[in-house]
Amino acid sequence: VPESAPDPSLSSVSAAWWAATRDDPARLADWLYAQYRGEVTAGRRILDLRDAHAPAGSRAHRLLTVIAGQEQTHAGWVGELLR
């Protein structure tokens, strides 16, 4: 199945959404909190997945550990923005 071209209207919808979010402090804070919660829970879920399905020392275990760490780093960055 060939990839379809990106819908140019999505770019304008995203730009409009970002402008509205960026310019409304309450809306921006809500979005940042949602991002923070998503990053924190993603890190935990990835570690749970790793522990359930990837043998210690395996490539999968190492990769999932790195990815979970990246999610935790992202959570830290967003947390700093929320201070």
pTM for the full model? 0.76
CA dist 80 and 83 (Å) reads 5
Question: What token pair was written down for 21?
Answer: 């979010």
CA dist 78 and 49 (Å) reads 24
Q: What is the DSSP letter of 57?
A: T
Q: What is the pLDDT of residues 22-40, one digit of tens each?
A: 999 999 999 999 999 999 9
Cβ distance 22 to 28 under 8 Å? yes
Burial (CB count <10 Å: 0-12, 13-18, 19+), residue 72: middle
Please give the pLDDT value at position 53.
Answer: 98
CA dist 4 and 2 (Å) reads 6
Q: How confident is the model at residue 8 (pLDDT cuts 50, 70, 90)?
A: confident
Q: What is the pLDDT of residues 37-77, one digit of tens each?
A: 999 999 999 999 999 999 999 999 999 999 999 999 999 99
